[in-house]
Amino acid sequence: MTESRSHLAHAWAVAIIVYWLVLAAALLIGPLIDWRPVLSLAGVPPWLSMSIGALLGAGSLLIFASLGRHRYRSTRWSLELAGLILSGGAWFGFGWASTVAFPVSLSGWGQAAAFTVAIILRGREVVVIEQRTREAADHLEDPGAPD
């Protein structure tokens, strides 16, 4: 399977990552040109929205990189987990900041809460997959070993 087909197999994830990257770019660039692209964050200091954008952008790029082909699965898992941690921090910060700055904005804190929960669940899933794969590999190396 080629690199591009691998990304096509994860179309939903790619679509979300593209959205996150666009949002990250807007949060990073917006304060520099006196533009507030996210109204629920309009009341926060520019450094805070830029920090959220930086975390979200870095995390999104790591998650996107994890979708490609890698020689070792552990590389894919490590990239995805690092991206999930950074993105999760960004969405948690986004939710907190938008709730403090503009509590009636359902789209602000609701979107952040949904993405934060999804990131936590996906992170747990990646850890479980990694553990099960390593246990299976250990069992194949030493079939007589107790479970």
For 57-97, how does the pLDDT look when each residue is reduced to its tens digit (9 = 90+)?
999 999 999 988 788 888 899 999 999 999 999 999 999 99
| pLDDT given at position 68 | 82
Q: Which H/E stretch holds residue 98? A: helix 73-101
| pLDDT given at position 1 | 43
More confident residue, 95 or 11: 95
Composition of the chain by helix, strand, coil, percent to 5: 80, 0, 20
Q: Does the structure show a pLDDT above 50 at 121?
A: yes
The one-character DSSP state at 35 is -
Averaged pLDDT of the chain:
88
| pLDDT given at position 133 | 85
| Tokens of residue 39, six digits | 């109204």
The single-letter code of the amino acid at 140 is: L
